[in-house]
Amino acid sequence: MLATALVATLILAACGEDGEAGSDDPVVVGQVAEPASLDPHVVTAVNDFRININLYDGLVRYAADSLEVEPALAVDWTISDDGTLYTFELREDVEFHDGTPFDAEVVKFNFDRMLDEDHPYHDTGPFPLAQQFYGHLAEVRVVDEHTVEFELSSPFAPFLSNLAYPTGLLISQAAVEAHGEDVGRNPVGTGPYVFSEWRSNEHVTLERNPDYWDGAPEVPGVVFRPITESQTRVNELMSGGADMIVEVPPDDVAALRDDPDFVVGEQAGPHVWFLILNLAEPPFDDVRMRRAINMAIDKESIVNDVLQGTATVAHGPIAEAFGAAYNPDIDPYPYDPDAARELIEEAGYGDGVEVTFYVTEGGSGMLDPVPMGEAIQADLRDVGIDARISTYEWNSFLDEVNAGIEGKADMAQMAWMTADPDTLPFLTLRSGAWPDEGGFNSGYYANERVDELLEAAQVEVDEDARIAMYHEMQEIVVEDAPWVFVASWKQNVAMSPRIEGFELHPSFLLRLHDLRWAD
Amino acid sequence: MSAATASPDQTPDDGVVAPRRGATTWRRLKRNRLSVAGLIVLAVVVLLALLAPLLPLIDPAATNPANRLQPIGSEGHLLGTDHLGRDLLSRLIWGGRTSLSVGVFATLIAASIGSLIGLVAGFFGGATDNSLMRGVDVLMAFPYLLLAIALVAVLGPGLVNAMIAISIVNIPFFARAVRGTTVSLVSSEYVDAARALAFSRLRILFREVLPNVMPTIIITMSTTVGWMITETAGLSFLGLGAQPPTSDWGAMLGAGREFITRAPHVMIVPGSAIFLVVISLNFVGDGLRDALDPRLK
């Protein structure tokens, strides 16, 4: 395997020698993995979103530097007072890459395909995120060619924001009809780049869309290369095999920051890295133990030393990057091993206690899980908690943890990246989201007030009232400490200084529309 | 030596013949300089590993993230520190205990089970031979690492399970080698003589055949123990072996991979240890083979 990598590097290095990449060359992006599919309604991984966001458009999109929603294929919209009827005015001059027009029928087709089990193309799925994001949708109605109405069965505040999520990107009806399930390998959108070629485990190539409604891109195209091994990604950037790489390992971020030959971009995103605690069994059924463990772990050292400043300390269940929804007044747990020891003593575990700690080897958003797990283990040892680590490969880890950790483990690592402050707590902190109810509350936290607040926030259309609910929810959750809140990741890219016009976006997406080569 | 045990009136020779043979082996081994060098290296490594609890070492699990990735020769850390600021020298020596003992135990398990299968198959022949050896062939048909990974996936990660997996995938090597030697011994005169004396088959198998198969077993063991240490390291490298914070050379190597450009010593230190031990074992194994069984040279 090493030999192949070396040969590949040599070939690419050789290609680079016949001249620096010029304005006629596509930009090569080093991705973390091979995409699963390029069908926007099917995929769930950020890795796939990063390509799709350049191929497709949605009705709405995130603003350039925030998670606020702005017009995209819909030029304008109105929401009825009761929050159940959304009317979108569509852009009139847009065509899909295959030449078919973008109109209200296509919009209806896209959502019916995901949500209507009797739809002729519903079997081209599965569509794992559709119910969570658009399940409140009762009907999509075509009013005229360029007007479409969405009727919700009940008000659902995150709806508009969910439309901006990459699951809401719109695909050509003709392409779905022509390719069926294989449309994921033959994607057709309206976006700034047109799909050209996908060679498995080699690259996905996109070409510029000269007729893009929001202005044609300046670079001739973009190539996404899957480079799984993080160190290989860095080597590819250095040898010229990639012009831009994502998810740079912490130590390389530190070194590349000081290297004038490269530009490093970093931005905090809506990400929370935490430890799920098992509230169903001792010792963490005792809130004193849960608070103690929050104080026993040196989170500053984890983000600054282990992660080399590529993350910030998380204070609660909602990431700071969510802006208004984040409660700046919550009182974070300080690093205080002495206070932790006192609480442990009080809880009756002064003579030491053994806990099982599930650690994953890797996984999207998990950062550096094994070293982080080891650092946590060492901090816990100092306060008399003997954490026994069990490591699992990512997919088996998810199987174990998502099914609930009762009877198996006392604590487990987890991380979420979400686009709306609602998604994470709704899926992981409600008592209605316990694993046997199909949710992700794997540690069995239950608090009636939190349930009330989360359910009320989903249907609250008034933004200020909704934010107040989130603030109260955060205070309660931090007080109850069902998790150890550890870190919020700063996503990063490293790239050649010759690339201009690129900004990281808080959504963790990679929008390459405005890329250009410096002269 | 075993021919002697075949007839009861020669038993007094037993005590004389055995040491003489041992002495010859030792003399032959001594002539092989590489083997001697290998033996010395192994002796030092084993001694360090055995004495680890007595040596003035820093706790191998004590982290100090602020002091991470210190280079070789830094103050207080002779071999530097890893990505969590743990002392590499201490982890190397403690890790040696784990890696060596897992390699040795895996070899012993594989040798016992594999040799038993080989002995029985070779001695009884016929349907027994066929069914046993076809089973072994099935084991052998899988790429060894793939099989080991599959076994660990079923058993769950951990050192003991990694050791079991490594043992199982190495059974065929012993079974085949031992069966071959056994088949050639079964028709020898002293076995015929033992049969004529109406010894039970079990007695013939374990008292007559086994001692003469021992050189084959020892040679196979000495040449595979290094291989097994590498395989265990391979599983740990993939995260399927030792669980944190236990140090083990393979896991250390795997953790160091991420820092290969910034702090290569984190990977070089355990890598060199594996290299030194495995190459020493191979030298000793080669020497033993030459000394015990000149025909194989």
Mean pLDDT of successive 10-residue stretches along chain A, which has 519 residues: 39 41 82 89 87 95 88 94 92 94 95 93 87 89 95 90 93 94 94 95 94 93 90 90 90 87 89 94 93 95 90 92 88 93 93 93 82 93 92 83 92 88 89 86 94 90 89 94 93 91 88 89
Q: Which long-range contacts (CB under 8 A, 24 or more apart) does A209-212 make?
A: A209/A97, A211/A95, A212/A513
CATH number for the domain formed by residue range(s) B22-53+68-296? 1.10.3720.10
Q: What per-residue confidence (pLDDT) applies to B294?
A: 59
Domain with residue A287: its CATH number is: 3.10.105.10
3-state SS class at B114: helix
Residues A224, A162 share a domain: no
pTM over 0.90: no
- Contact between chains at B157 and A234 (C-beta distance less than 8 A): no
Residues A317, A299 share a domain: yes
Residues A321, A211 share a domain: no
Which of A306, A357, A379 is the best substitution to test chain B (most B C-beta atoms within 10 A)? A306
Residue B88 has which token pair?
A: 């590499």
Max Cα distance, chain A (Å): 73
- Contact between chains at B244 and A388 (C-beta distance less than 8 A): no
- Contact between chains at A252 and B260 (C-beta distance less than 8 A): no
A252 domain residue, yes or no: no
Q: What per-residue confidence (pLDDT) applies to B2?
A: 42
CA distance B113 to chain A (A): 29
Cα–Cα nearest to B69, from B250, B259, B245: B259
Q: What per-residue confidence (pLDDT) applies to B9?
A: 42
Residues A284, A210 share a domain: no
CA distance B221 to chain A (A): 29
The per-residue b/e assignment along B108-126, b for 16 or more CB within 10 angstroms, e otherwise, is ebbbebbbbbbbbbbbeee
CA distance B222 to chain A (A): 29
A379 domain residue, yes or no: yes
Residue A199: half-sphere exposure toward Cβ, Cα within 13 Å: 5
Extract the residue ranges of chain B whose pLDDT is less than 70.
1-22, 293-297
Q: What per-residue confidence (pLDDT) applies to B4?
A: 41
Give, as one character, the DSSP assignment of residue B239. Answer: T
Residues A292, A406 share a domain: yes
**A237: domain range?**
1-43+191-243+496-519
Q: What per-residue confidence (pLDDT) applies to B20?
A: 57
Q: Does B258 touch chain A (CB under 8 A)?
A: yes
Q: Does B239 touch chain A (CB under 8 A)?
A: yes
Number of domains in chain A: 3
Domain with residue A161: its CATH number is: 3.90.76.10
Has the ipTM of the complex gone over 0.90?
no
Do the Cβ atoms of B263 and B74 come closer than 8 Å? Answer: no
Residues A501, A482 share a domain: no
- Contact between chains at A390 and B68 (C-beta distance less than 8 A): no
Residues A179, A146 share a domain: yes
Q: What per-residue confidence (pLDDT) applies to A396?
A: 81
Which of B58, B67, B81, B84 is the best substitution to test chain A (most A C-beta atoms within 10 A)? B84
A255 domain residue, yes or no: no
Residue of A251, A306, A390 with shortest CB distance to B243: A390
Residues A478, A394 share a domain: yes
Which of A301, A307, A335, A360 is the best substitution to test chain B (most B C-beta atoms within 10 A)? A301
Residues A419, A313 share a domain: yes
Q: Give Cα separations from A515 to A27, A60, A397, A496, A498 (angstroms).
A: 8, 21, 38, 12, 10
Q: What per-residue confidence (pLDDT) applies to A130?
A: 87
Q: What per-residue confidence (pLDDT) applies to A16?
A: 40
- Contact between chains at A392 and B157 (C-beta distance less than 8 A): yes
Residue of B153, B244, B257 with shortest CB distance to A389: B244
- The full set of domain ranges for chain B reads 22-53+68-296
Q: What per-residue confidence (pLDDT) applies to A46?
A: 82
Residues A37, A154 share a domain: no
Q: End-to-end distance of chain B based on CA atoms, in angstroms?
A: 22
Residues of B in contact with A392 (CB under 8 A): 157
A262 domain residue, yes or no: no
